[in-house]
Amino acid sequence: MSLLRAEGLTKHFGGVAAVENLTFAVEEGEVLGLIGPNGSGKTTALNMLSGFLAPDRGTVEMGAEVVTRLRPVALARRGLLRMFQVTRLFSRLSAFDNLLTAGMARGQREGEARKRAAALLEELTLTAVMYLDAGQLSGGQRKLLEFGMCFIAPPRLALLDEPFAAVHPVMRETMADFIQRRNAQGHSFLVVSHDMPVVVELCQRAVCMNAGRLLSVGPTREVLKDPAVIEAYLGSGSHA
């Protein structure tokens, strides 16, 4: 049984099909990449998977449970954690308090959340800025902090929307190492990214979307060699 399965997900905005009949699954313990050119429907798909958008048709299953209409808070409590393309932090609270609040929201006691927060800040190289308000952090630090908030309690599945976009290479490395370490421990990830070298490095499998539809799915290197995927990224005639 898959950890998360999308079956026939469809979402239209007016007359535009943002996502059309999308079916794929995330397996336990894998890092799955969700790739595709701009406007291909990746974020809309992620919004439906994380409960922020109700699909017009189709279902989302988490293990044996149908979770299609559940609110984000209910999904978060089941361990489905989301990182946003544009960071969503508690900007007037310190970085440490952001992690503490996220831990308490996941049911941790304050003492436990404090220990986890301190350890995560160190692992993500944010200890030096732990007392600064989240709103005062740089773009990369904000990404790292939101990333850490997903892991204050181990998630069943982390949905990461463009985690590496506009992030300094050193921070990108920190994040990629973190994902690899957690994946080696059996944690599962769905990573939406435009950064192909990182996708190849991290993701065992990839799903490629174009114009709201599933274009290709399989081992990452094979998906990237798929002529349909190359055409979607580079335009027709590019593989001739």
Q: Is 181 in the site for other proteins (CB under 8 A)?
A: no
Binding mask 1-40 for other proteins (x = CB under 8 A): ----------------------------------------
**Binding-site size, other proteins (CB under 8 A):** 32
DSSP sequence for 8-19: EEEEEETTEEEE
Burial readout 157-173 (b: 16 or more C-beta within 10 A, e: otherwise): bbbbbbbbeebeeebbe
149 touches other proteins by CB under 8 A: yes
Show the binding pattern over residues 77-116: x = contacts other proteins (CB under 8 A), - = does not: x---xx-x---xxxxxxx-xx--xxx-xxxx--x------
Residue 104 Cβ vs other proteins, minimum distance, rounded to whole Å: 5
At closest approach, how far in Å is the CB of 171 from other proteins? 20
State how far the Cα of 12 lies from the Cα of 212, in Å rounded to an integer: 10
What is the smallest separation between the CB atom of 43 and other proteins, expressed in angstroms?
13
Torsion of CA 201, 167, 40, 57, to 10 degrees: 90
Which residue's CB is nearer to other proteins, number 80 or number 217?
80
> Are 152 and 115 spatial neighbours (Cβ–Cβ below 8 Å)?
no
For the CA atoms of 152, 154, 201, 29, what is the dihedral angle to 10 degrees? -170
Q: What is the CA radius of gyration of the chain?
A: 18
Which of 20, 146 has the CB closer to other proteins? 146
User: At its nearest, how many Å lie between other proteins and the CB of residue 70?
Assistant: 12
For residue 19, which of 60, 70, 62, 63 has the smallest C-alpha distance?
60
CB of 228 to other proteins, least distance (A): 33
Distances (CA, A) of 7 to 59, 74, 168, 191: 5, 20, 36, 19
Window of 32-40, 58-66, 125-133, 199-207 that interacts with other proteins by CB under 8 A: 125-133
Q: Which parts of this chain interact with other proteins (CB under 8 A)?
A: 50, 52, 71-73, 76-77, 81-82, 84, 88-94, 96-97, 100-102, 104-107, 110, 131-133, 146, 149
